[in-house]
A and B are shown apart, each in its own frame.
Chain A
Amino acid sequence: MLLDKILESLFPSGHTVLVACGLIFGRGALADGDSIAVIGVDGRIPIGVDEAALLSGHVLDVIKSGGNEPILILIDSDSQRMSKRDELLGLNEFLAHLAKCLILANKLGHRTIGLLYGHTAAGAFIATALATQTLLALPGAEPAVMDLPSMSRVTKLSIEVLQEKAKSTPVFAPGLDNLAQTGAVAITLDPDRSLAHQLTSVLSQPVEREDSRDKLGKERNGRPKAADIAKRVYELARASV
């Protein structure tokens, strides 16, 4: 689904969302008349230090403007920008900072919702979509940790062998279904229905205090052990003091 169509369906009452150099900024009007801040990445651009700093600056502006305006982050990105300049300047800090801003916004009362409508991968995925409280996706979204050809190089297994293995487990191969099964994506939206209604329905659901993605991954048979291991360590640590 193209960004224009998505924005049209999300905000029938209007929006001020603009795209500049692949970055999305603006506000949309929700059905109840309230506004939602919109940021994001379009056109499959990589996220480097410059992009990350602009996005995090925007999140901080939303927090500073007071209130509890929700934040929607729309994602069609490449992975992090893989360059000497970005690493020289400390890309890890910029991506971590962006994630921190999104998570702090959430802690300070802003709902944060991610919507994957295209590609995303690796560090860009972690710093944006995976740093939101609720991650939504549209069919056709292509989240990936790493693409199969690169994975094939590292694991020294042919793409055919990897594809065969991917049939028995969602744990490593790219794709929306696999990431939904492991608990990353909460809800896949229906593009044929009003996205505004579907967003309103998500926003009206009670806010969960706990990060429940590991439990979701267990329910969906994508991550059999993570939730139990985290819970056991949690209980042992609490019992140690």
Chain B
Amino acid sequence: MIIIASDKALPPNNTSASTDSWYESSARQRVENLLDANSFNEFIGPELRETSPHLPLFDLPEQFDDGMIVGYGRLDGIPVLVAAQEGRFMGGAFGEIHGAKLTGLLRAARDIAWLPVLILFDTGGVRLQEANAGELAIAEIMRALIEARFAGIPVVGLVGGRAGCYGGGGLIAGCCSALAVSEQGRISVSGPEVIETNRGLEEFDSKDRALVWRTMGGKHRRLIGGAEVFADDTVASFRDAARFLIKHAPSMSLEMLEAEQFRLTQRIEQFGTCADAADIWRSLGATKPQSIPALPHPDFVALANDLQEPHYVAR
């Protein structure tokens, strides 16, 4: 067996971290490069080894942070609370510890009442090996998140990771004050494989990547109003989006939920009979819907702003 153990094996130093791909970055790299240099202070870091108490039962490896990083930092000088999921560990899924960290962070945000929260989603949903704990964690996170918003706190979600934002993660994202999503950032409740397994290949071919992207991907979510900002797949773009959305995040109220009710029922009326995302885009006014998946970032942003203004006060 050949063992390479020289410094030559290290990747070259990247002097411009902000142009790093969000999709390719780890959760720690995202947090480090998103926030101001050396401003991040982690709560219950990996050195405390608060690992899942349940994975050993399944003889599965643990991760020291259980795939969730939470802490305090600064974004262009603005103090923020941050949570980031590692999509490569157990698919970023919510387990007991993983979820409880975010619950605690949001409860603190609610009671501090002036610190915005950023959630860097990267998740397949509930971790099945601790499904009941994960499901409840999602319910607790949603309640704490909504209470924080009710207290006037912006809770901004950033979606652009490998695991996407599926299952309960999609529901938490739907509770955020505002979302930024990149092309790669799929948001959905049932994943492609789940739909195919339950309803058959005719309903959804999970191997058809183009179908997955246009049904669940960031462009579609931005176009139907499921996300406010379409980000490019760079740390810098997500940083700009986060900074912008923190300022465009009005607090939760009855009026806002009535506006959301209207927005969502309108969506069913407008697009409820469309068989494919391309049909929805066409009925939004896109003259060449088939060209949308290949549109570069700035062109798509311009088109989206033309077709569908973001609704900042209906979420």
Do A and B come together as binding partners? yes
Interface positions of A (Cβ within 8 A of B):
49-50, 53, 56-57, 60, 63-64, 80, 82-97, 99-101, 103-104, 107-108, 122-123, 125-127, 130-131, 145-146, 150-151, 153-155, 157, 165, 168-173, 178-179, 182-184, 211, 213-214, 217, 222-227, 229-238, 240-241
Q: Select A146's contact among B115, B131, B143, beta carbons within 8 Å.
A: B131
Min CB–CB distance B79 → chain A (angstroms): 7
The answer to whether the Cβ of B81 comes within 8 Å of any Cβ in the partner chain is yes
The answer to whether the Cβ of B100 comes within 8 Å of any Cβ in the partner chain is yes
Determine whether the beta carbon of B53 is less than 8 Å from that of A91.
Answer: no
Q: Given contacts A64-B254, A179-B132, A182-B133, are A104 and B150 in contact (CB under 8 A)? A: yes
Determine whether the beta carbon of A53 is less than 8 Å from that of B261.
Answer: yes
8 sample A-B contacts, Cβ–Cβ < 8 Å, listed by A number: A60-B257, A90-B187, A95-B170, A96-B174, A157-B58, A173-B132, A233-B100, A235-B108
Determine whether the beta carbon of B96 is less than 8 Å from that of A97.
Answer: no
Complex: A169 Cα to B130 Cα, angstroms: 9
- Chain B residues lying within 8 Å of A127, measured Cβ to Cβ, are 171
Complex: A233 Cα to B144 Cα, angstroms: 13
Determine whether the beta carbon of A84 is less than 8 Å from that of B195.
Answer: yes
With CB as the reference atom, state the residue of chain B lying closest to A99: B142
Binds A, one of B9-17, B28-36, B271-279, B298-306: B271-279
The answer to whether the Cβ of B292 comes within 8 Å of any Cβ in the partner chain is no
With CB as the reference atom, state the residue of chain A lying closest to B129: A172
Min CB–CB distance B195 → chain A (angstroms): 5
Complex: A83 Cα to B197 Cα, angstroms: 11
- Chain B residues lying within 8 Å of A171, measured Cβ to Cβ, are 54, 96, 130-133
Q: Select A233's contact among B70, B111, B126, beta carbons within 8 Å.
A: B70
Determine whether the beta carbon of A103 is less than 8 Å from that of B146.
Answer: yes
Min CB–CB distance B302 → chain A (angstroms): 23
Q: Select A226's contact among B96, B143, B254, beta carbons within 8 Å.
A: B96
Interface positions of B (Cβ within 8 A of A):
41, 43-44, 50, 53-54, 57-58, 70, 72, 79, 81, 96-97, 99-101, 103-105, 107-109, 111-112, 115, 126, 128-140, 142-144, 146-147, 150, 167-168, 170-175, 187-190, 194-195, 197-199, 203-204, 215-216, 220-221, 224-226, 252, 254, 257-258, 260-261, 264-265, 267-268, 271-272, 274, 276-277, 280, 315
Min CB–CB distance B10 → chain A (angstroms): 33
Complex: A151 Cα to B131 Cα, angstroms: 9
Q: Given contacts A89-B271, A130-B139, A172-B54, are A225 and B96 in contact (CB under 8 A)? A: yes
Q: Given contacts A126-B139, A230-B103, are A92 and B170 in contact (CB under 8 A)? A: yes
- Chain A residues lying within 8 Å of B53, measured Cβ to Cβ, are 224-225
- Chain B residues lying within 8 Å of A227, measured Cβ to Cβ, are 100
Other A-B contacts than A89-B268, A225-B96, 12 sampled, CB-CB below 8 A, are A63-B254, A91-B170, A91-B188, A93-B174, A100-B252, A103-B146, A123-B168, A172-B128, A222-B132, A224-B96, A226-B133, A229-B104
Most buried by A among B43, B96, B133, B174: B133
Main SS class of interface, B: helix
Determine whether the beta carbon of A60 is less than 8 Å from that of B112.
Answer: no
Complex: A145 Cα to B50 Cα, angstroms: 24
Q: Select B171's contact among A86, A96, A211, A226, beta carbons within 8 Å.
A: A96
Q: Select A50's contact among B136, B257, B268, beta carbons within 8 Å.
A: B268
Complex: A14 Cα to B105 Cα, angstroms: 45
Determine whether the beta carbon of B142 is less than 8 Å from that of A92.
Answer: no
- Chain A residues lying within 8 Å of B105, measured Cβ to Cβ, are 233-234, 237
Complex: A159 Cα to B146 Cα, angstroms: 37
- Chain B residues lying within 8 Å of A101, measured Cβ to Cβ, are 257, 261
Q: Given contacts A82-B198, A182-B133, are A155 and B58 in contact (CB under 8 A)? A: yes
Q: Given contacts A146-B128, A236-B44, A237-B109, are A229 and B139 in contact (CB under 8 A)? A: no
Min CB–CB distance A80 → chain B (angstroms): 5
Determine whether the beta carbon of A104 is less than 8 Å from that of B146.
Answer: yes
Complex: A207 Cα to B315 Cα, angstroms: 27
With CB as the reference atom, state the residue of chain B lying closest to A217: B136
Min CB–CB distance A134 → chain B (angstroms): 13
Determine whether the beta carbon of A123 is less than 8 Å from that of B104.
Answer: no
- Chain A residues lying within 8 Å of B276, measured Cβ to Cβ, are 88
Complex: A87 Cα to B44 Cα, angstroms: 36
Q: Given contacts A83-B199, A172-B128, are A226 and B103 in contact (CB under 8 A)? A: yes
